[in-house]
Amino acid sequence: MRNLVMIPAMGCDGGLYADILPRLSSVISPVTIVADRDTLTGCVHQVLDQAPEKFIILGTSFGGRTALEVALAAPQRVEGLVVIGAGPGVAADPAAGMRRTERLRGTEFGSVVTEMADMVSHLPGQNGEKARSAFISMAQKLGGAAMARQSAALSQRADLWPRLGEIACPSLMLWGREDKFSPAADGLKMSTGLPHGRYAEISECGHFPSLEAPEETADIILHWLQDNTFI
């Protein structure tokens, strides 16, 4: 059975994938690693230190960006890549990212979490409110210090668009059509820049497909695993 390393989004833990794990774990061996260093290079080392020797990597948002960096850093170990809602470009506004980091470190942790919760979910969707509540709960457990480090790492991210061609393993870009954090158009563009890229989109879904549309998310991942003979 192949190994699947799952990297949650900023502020999240393994609960981000709880609704899809029952189906995935029957065909693949999953492990969740919460990356929480203050640079993406540090996050890459953190993941590689804890991951099996060979693995498929899946990440959402901050975790998706970390997964991209891992695939570039250790191509001999990464057998497949799934990115959910995470583009390869630089931070649109690094200064805003650092302000968020300082707010998380200070007295505004709760306000930042609420602001993010309102953006991550497509509230008109069937599970929008559920996703919003789940994010708040996970963020409160993870805490402001860890989220501040994750925010700092994201704020300093480099431009990976020119390097996408280096990722030779099968790759799946999975997006919610209503994603407010990372445009679905970026996922489609990424899939065309990867040698073995595929794009899948879920309608009426925001930034966290595994929470908002777990059955469809699991179906897409399972079909991709099967098509690439991982299962």
How do the domains of the chain map onto residue ranges? 3-227
pLDDT in tens, 190-223: 999 999 999 999 999 999 999 999 999 999 999 9
Q: Which amino acid is at 94?
A: P
pLDDT value, residue 34: 98
Average pLDDT on 72-96 reads 95
Rounded to an integer, the average pLDDT of 13-34 is 97
For residue range 52-72, what is the model confidence (pLDDT) as tens digits? 999 999 999 999 999 999 999
Q: Which CATH architecture has domain 3-227?
A: 3-Layer(aba) Sandwich (3.40)
pLDDT in tens, 148-184: 999 999 999 999 999 999 999 999 999 999 999 999 9
Q: What is the mean pLDDT of residues 17-33?
A: 96
Q: What mean pLDDT do residues 10-25 have?
A: 97
Q: What is the mean pLDDT of the chain?
A: 97
CA distance 73 to 75: 6
Distances (CA, A) of 132 to 12, 53, 80, 212, 224: 12, 35, 29, 9, 28
Tokens representing 119? 């953006």
Decide: 69 and 43 in contact? Cβ < 8 Å: yes
Burial class (CB in 10 A: 0-12, 13-18, 19+), 154: buried
Query: Residue 92 above 90 pLDDT?
Result: no
pTM for the model:
0.97
Question: What number is the average pLDDT over the span 93-101?
Answer: 92
What is the reported pLDDT for 10? 98
Do 77 and 53 meet the contact criterion of CB atoms below 8 Å apart? yes
The closest of 227, 224, 200, 195 to 213, measured between CA atoms, is 200
Q: How many CA atoms lie within 13 A of 206 on its CB side?
A: 24
